Chain A
Amino acid sequence: NAGVTQTPKFQVLKTGQSMTLQCAQDMNHNSMYWYRQDPGMGLRLIYYSASEGTTDKGEVPNGYNVSRLNKREFSLRLESAAPSQTSVYFCATLTGVPYEQYFGPGTRLTVT
């Protein structure tokens, strides 16, 4: 089992460019999440999907869109990248009891 996979691992964008971060899980978990991590800021929730067919905003949704393509896949789209979106992006799922977040390896994004 691969767990949670994310592509790409690294990306450099220019301001105004768009891109989609991909996340896939093979653990049959219902809930999936996108976080960003900035130095000293911990993990901030961008969007989440409690189950297939639903998505909801988290703490910092501005500038992002998401798609829950099916139970396995949850993508994050930056329509017009800004330098403030330079960060590490983690996709995660929610397991059953205990309710732990299971994280992917992350995508390191730089916007110049």
Chain B
Amino acid sequence: GQQVMQIPQYQHVQEGEDFTTYCNSSTTLSNIQWYKQRPGGHPVFLIQLVKSGEVKKQKRLTFQFGEAKKNSSLHITATQTTDVGTYFCAGPGGGFKTIFGAGTRLFVKA
């Protein structure tokens, strides 16, 4: 079945360093979404990308959707301790379903 793979599983960074997480789908996606989950919290929607090659920015976060619409990345510039959490990518799973990647857990050391 359809799968959404995400790497790395964990990333430890020093505050101020950059961070990137990558998402790959086994099939072409009509859109891809990114979510952030703070420790002990629930996933919160960050953004949706729809167009091939699309790049969107939210302050220090840059989201990209690949040309083939099968991969995506989230890049954080100059991480801060407030960036700590798990970042998930997600894509349509057919019908009304959403398929989530396993997530990348970000640790930031001050």
- Bound CA span A61–B80, Å: 39
Interface contact A106-B97, CB-CB below 8 Å: no
Q: Which of B58-66, B70-78, B88-96 touches A?
A: B88-96
Chain A: interface size category: 20 to 34
Chain B residue nearest to A44 in the complex (CB): B100
A103/B102 in contact, CB under 8 A: no
Residue of B nearest to A31 (CB): B96
Find chain B residues with CB under 8 A from A56 CB. Answer: 95
Given known pairs A40-B9, A42-B88, A48-B97, the reply for A100 and B42 (CB within 8 Å) is: no
B48 at the interface (CB under 8 A from A): yes
Task: Report the contact-size class of chain B (Cβ under 8 Å from the partner).
Answer: 20 to 34
A102 to B98, CA, bound (A): 12
In the complex, residue of chain A having the shortest beta-carbon distance to the beta carbon of B50: A98
Asked whether, in the complex, the Cβ of A99 is within 8 Å of the Cβ of B95, the reply is no
Partner of A104, one of B35, B42, B47: B42
CB-based contact B95/A100 at 8 Å: no
Q: Closest Cβ of chain A: how far from B52's Cβ, in Å?
A: 17
For A43, what are the chain B residues with a Cβ–Cβ distance below 8 Å?
A: 43, 88, 100
Given contacts A41-B102, A42-B88, A43-B88, 18 further A-B contacts (CB under 8 A): A40-B102, A42-B103, A43-B43, A45-B93, A45-B98, A48-B96, A50-B96, A56-B95, A90-B42, A90-B43, A99-B33, A100-B48, A101-B35, A101-B90, A102-B45, A105-B41, A105-B42, A106-B42
Residues of B within 8 A of A (CB): 6, 9, 31, 33, 35, 41-45, 47-48, 88, 90, 92-93, 95-98, 100-103
In order of increasing CB-CB distance, the 5 nearest A-B pairs are A98-B48, A100-B45, A42-B102, A103-B42, A43-B100
8 residue pairs from A and B, CB less than 8 Å apart? A42-B6, A56-B95, A58-B97, A90-B43, A94-B98, A98-B45, A99-B98, A106-B42
